[in-house]
Amino acid sequence: MKKVLVVLGILSIGGGIVGFFSGLSVSPLSSVFSALIGILGSVPFFALIGAMEDIERLKEQVETLQGKLNRLLSLQAPSPDSAEPAAFVPPMETARQVWECVKCGTVNKAGTAACSHCGAQYSSWVNPTDKN
């Protein structure tokens, strides 16, 4: 798919170049306009290629994180009274400073563990405003 997009982008630029040289006989302004249209027409193709590469990187990161989570969950010992493994419950973390909820944007007080508006749990990993 990326190869097709690269070819389409190059064809768009090539069309602009051909339009530029063929428009020179008519008027310099139309030839420049034709070249600009060809170049600008290729931008979406190359932007899409970049987005596809970003998506591939994110998929790899998700797979890595899923593997790490599965390893963490497998390390938890099942409770002796039940045959089912214990559910992973992260410890409640409280904010040391005023923080903004990443889910709803509400500004919350220091010392809170959850958003006062939507109830989302505070996490220093997720919340970028806390400078611990």
pLDDT at residue 15 is higher than 90: no
Question: pTM for the whole thing?
Answer: 0.46
| Alpha-carbon distance values, 106 to 15, 93, 122, 128, 132 (Å) | 51, 18, 12, 14, 20
Alpha-helical runs (H) found in 24-79: 28-75
Q: For residues 52 and 47, what is the distance between their CA atoms, to the nearest angstrom?
A: 9
Q: Mean pLDDT score of the chain, rounded to an integer?
A: 82
Flag whether 25 is in a domain: yes
Q: Is residue 97 located within the same domain as residue 58?
A: no
Q: How many domains does the chain have?
A: 2
* Predicted confidence (pLDDT) per residue in 58-89, tens digit: 999 999 999 888 888 777 655 556 556 556 55
Q: What percent of the chain has pLDDT over 70?
A: 83
Flag whether 80 is in a domain: no
* Predicted confidence (pLDDT) per residue in 95-117, tens digit: 888 988 888 989 998 888 889 99
Q: Is residue 100 located within the same domain as residue 68?
A: no
